[in-house]
């Protein structure tokens, strides 16, 4: 956003926050969805803490599998979008089963996030994220695609 967020933008961010936290997600980053510039903060978003069975994994740049996460960002056309990133290996490293597969949701004509298609997607991604084995993801990343 190049201009201060409108009340609509702040309400949109708060609505998504309430939706995700009701499902057990946590706010990630130093910004709050009720603050201005939330969508401009590259660290702001939400994480699903039950990913990998809730176990802590040390962060190693470009090697650590990512947790199930979501955030507001800007699409190729510069318009704001909402994104859900599945847990797994980033950028097609390893096999298709372990790829993150980013899902992008354009805002509605009214400027909101349509949570209707996101809820069933999360119904699939959350259990998968809980049971993913980070060791298997790292082996897939470094030793080549899994034989599935």
**Would the pLDDT of 62 be above 60?**
yes
Q: Which of 122, 141, 109 is nearest to 23 (CA)?
A: 122
Tell me, what's the pLDDT at 67? 93
Burial class (CB in 10 A: 0-12, 13-18, 19+), 123: exposed
Task: Report yes or no on 148 lying in a domain.
Answer: no
Instruction: State the pLDDT confidence band at 5, using cuts at 50, 70 and 90.
Output: low
Please say whether the beta carbons of 82 and 107 come within 8 A: yes
**Model pLDDT for residues 82-92, shown as the tens digit of each residue:** 999 999 887 66
Burial class (CB in 10 A: 0-12, 13-18, 19+), 145: middle
Instruction: State the pLDDT confidence band at 26, using cuts at 50, 70 and 90.
Output: very high
**Would the pLDDT of 1 be above 50?**
no
* pTM exceeds 0.75 for this model: yes
Residues spanned by the domain of 72: 7-143
Q: Which of 144, 148, 135 is nearest to 64 (CA)?
A: 135
**Model pLDDT for residues 116-129, shown as the tens digit of each residue:** 999 999 999 999 99
User: How many domains is the chain built from?
Assistant: 1
How many CA atoms are closer than 13 Å to the CA of 136, on its beta-carbon side? Answer: 14
Tell me, what's the pLDDT at 147? 67
Task: Report yes or no on 1 lying in a domain.
Answer: no
Task: Report yes or no on 91 lying in a domain.
Answer: yes
Compute the average pLDDT of residues 29-48.
76
Task: Report yes or no on 116 lying in a domain.
Answer: yes
Task: Report yes or no on 123 lying in a domain.
Answer: yes
Task: Report yes or no on 2 lying in a domain.
Answer: no
Tell me, what's the pLDDT at 56? 86
Task: Report yes or no on 39 lying in a domain.
Answer: yes
Task: Report yes or no on 79 lying in a domain.
Answer: yes
């Amino acid at each position: 956003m190049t201009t201060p967020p409108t009340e609509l933008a702040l309400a949109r961010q708060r609505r998504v926050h309430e939706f995700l936290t009701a499902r057990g997600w946590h706010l990630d980053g130093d910004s709050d969805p009720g603050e201005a510039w939330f969508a401009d903060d590259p660290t702001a978003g939400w994480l699903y803490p039950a990913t990998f069975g809730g176990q802590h994994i040390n962060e190693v740049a470009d090697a650590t599998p990512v947790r199930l996460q979501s955030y507001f960002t800007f699409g190729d056309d510069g318009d704001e979008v909402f994104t859900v990133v599945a847990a797994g290996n980033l950028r097609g490293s390893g096999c298709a089963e372990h790829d993150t597969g980013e899902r992008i949701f354009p805002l509605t004509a009214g400027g909101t996030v349509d949570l209707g298609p996101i809820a069933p997607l999360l119904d699939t991604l959350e259990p998968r994220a809980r049971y993913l084995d980070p060791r298997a993801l790292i082996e897939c990343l470094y030793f080549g695609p899994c034989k599935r």
